[in-house]
């Protein structure tokens, strides 16, 4: 095979891989509004008898997820700054049923849930705090 063809193939391969990686990175941490009527019931989450008042940040994590720890700290901080926000961390390591129920494909995944249980937004990956704060403000004023 000609060295020119090999070089061109490598350039195309590296360019395509870079484009896919940049696209994936761009989507991480962004809040996607949910309009499909999905609801979280207290019985869906371990140890809950009823949903807290206000907005609940439901974080799905695993033991081996490094970004989950920093996400946990950031969501805890947001919840401590606002008495109408609660943070719940659900370890799905041993609960594949919960991961399946909420279509969790990566950790961390965070759901913004209003007091009726309606899922208002979904964030895949470590959340961008400005996007999360905007969703919190939107959910708290609704």
Classify residue 109: in a domain, yes or no.
yes
pLDDT score at 73? 94
DSSP lists the bridge partners of residue 62 as: none
Q: How far apart are CA 133 and CA 137, in angstroms?
A: 6
**For 8-66, what is each residue's pLDDT tens digit?**
778 888 888 877 766 766 566 677 777 777 888 888 888 888 888 899 999 999 999 99
- 88 sits in the region (left: phi over 0; alpha: psi -120 to 50; else beta) called beta
What Rg do the C-alpha atoms of the chain give, in angstroms?
A: 19
Classify residue 104: in a domain, yes or no.
yes
Classify residue 75: in a domain, yes or no.
yes
Contacts with 6 (C-beta within 8 Å, 6 or more apart), sequence order: none
Classify residue 102: in a domain, yes or no.
yes
Tally of domains in the chain:
1
Classify residue 2: in a domain, yes or no.
no
121: Cα separation from own chain's centroid? 9
Classify residue 132: in a domain, yes or no.
yes
Give the CA distances from residue 27 to residues 30, 31, 69, in Å, rounded to whole numbers and listed in that order.
6, 9, 20
């Amino acid at each position: 095979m000609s060295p020119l063809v090999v070089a061109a193939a490598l350039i195309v391969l590296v360019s395509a891989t870079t484009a896919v990686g940049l696209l994936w990175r761009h989507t991480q941490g962004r809040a996607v509004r949910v309009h499909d009527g999905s609801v979280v019931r207290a019985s869906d989450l371990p140890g809950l008898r009823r949903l807290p008042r206000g907005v609940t940040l439901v974080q799905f994590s695993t033991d081996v997820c490094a970004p989950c720890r920093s996400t946990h700290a950031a969501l805890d901080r947001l919840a401590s700054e606002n008495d109408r926000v609660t943070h719940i961390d659900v370890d799905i390591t041993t609960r594949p049923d919960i991961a399946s129920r909420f279509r969790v494909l990566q950790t961390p995944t965070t759901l913004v849930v209003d007091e009726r249980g309606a899922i208002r937004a979904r964030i895949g990956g470590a959340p961008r705090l400005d996007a999360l704060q905007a969703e919190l403000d939107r959910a708290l004023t609704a």
